[in-house]
Chains A and B, each alone.
Chain A
């Protein structure tokens, strides 16, 4: 399972280069993206849009995690993060970070833990 696999093959790298216009890592608004961040579309795809952008907007009508998007689109996290930055900056998607156990300055969130617990107990 998991662990390192073969080094990325050159054709894959070329594809990623084209997809991202050669940008290698997320900056700005996407730098905080997490694998569990939920992406929600805020706009419909428009004609002429890059195929992957369109695909993201279509798949995220219902909130979908970055990890799921990556798995469905067959894109590694760092490449997907670049594409998501474009959409975030254009205000076409909304990103909701996972809720941490405790927010800075607010102390541990017992209500959240209770909510998780009752959800698990219903399984």
Chain B
């Protein structure tokens, strides 16, 4: 048997590598998977969860159990930040109602990027609401499509009804350095929040 890597069975194997996670949220078709793909070190993968939900409001046949099983997929990628720290990026399922069913999807995340298509602002409303409800710190990334209208950021901020301290940045989700810059904006925002929290009296 090949025992490479197991020279000391029973003792903690491997190095001290740890992980952090960031969620990429946003409405359907806003470019979540595109962003994961452009910035990931690995070819993006898909992981699944089988969710059981009561099929209220869905036509059902007599005798058929009133629960349905749905498979929800998460596209994800990873970035090696240094020898001992890996960042995992998860694109959230397109339909926000599944976020409730997947327990702890956002738990333990450093924060989230909410992608917005400025041609269809409304498609990301739910994602923003959900971040606020679950108290996940986030930045807004306007994914600029070739035919996106030019809107002043203030106008978009108003339309999205977000607080003034939430950064709004423009990006091209297909571009690696542009997507990287969005992640940098998120981490800077988290640092600023930390500074504010640290200054508040306990």
> Which residues on A are within 8 Å of B, measured CB to CB?
1-8, 13, 16, 34-38, 40-45, 61-63, 65-68, 70-72, 76-79, 94, 96-102, 107-110, 112-121, 123
Contact = CB atoms under 8 A, between A and B. Distances in A.
Interface stretch (B80-88, B125-133, B139-147, B166-174): B80-88
B193 A99 contact: no
A117 B188 contact: yes
Interface in B1-46: 1, 3-6, 9-15, 17-21, 28, 32-33, 39, 45-46
Contacts of A113: 110, 187, 190-191, 194
A1 B85 CA distance: 28
Those 7 A-B pairs whose CB atoms lie nearest each other, nearest first: A119-B81, A108-B194, A71-B45, A61-B5, A36-B21, A3-B94, A70-B47
Given A2-B91, A40-B14, A67 B47 contact: yes
Contact of B180 (A8, A16, A38, A120): A120
Nearest to A33: B104
Contacts of A96: 17-19
Given A61-B5, A76-B50, A4 B13 contact: no
B108 interface: yes
B176 A123 contact: yes
B71 A2 contact: no
B18 A7 contact: no
Given A61-B13, A112-B20, A120-B184, A4 B70 contact: yes
Given A3-B95, A98-B19, A100-B108, A107 B183 contact: no
Contacts of B11: 42
Nearest to A62: B14
User: Which applies to chain B's interface (DSSP): helix, strand, loop or mixed?
Assistant: mixed
Interface of A is mostly: mixed
Contacts of A44: 1, 3, 6, 9
Contacts of B104: 34
Contacts of A72: 45
Given A3-B95, A40-B13, A78-B49, A116 B73 contact: no
20 contacts: A2-B74, A4-B93, A5-B71, A7-B69, A7-B71, A8-B50, A8-B71, A13-B69, A34-B107, A35-B74, A36-B19, A42-B11, A63-B15, A63-B19, A71-B45, A78-B49, A98-B18, A110-B191, A113-B187, A123-B79
B197 interface: yes
Given A2-B74, A6-B71, A76 B48 contact: yes
B19 A108 contact: no
A123 B15 CA distance: 22
Given A44-B1, A117-B191, 14 more contacts: A1-B75, A2-B32, A4-B72, A41-B6, A42-B9, A44-B6, A67-B74, A68-B45, A70-B47, A98-B19, A113-B190, A113-B191, A116-B81, A123-B39
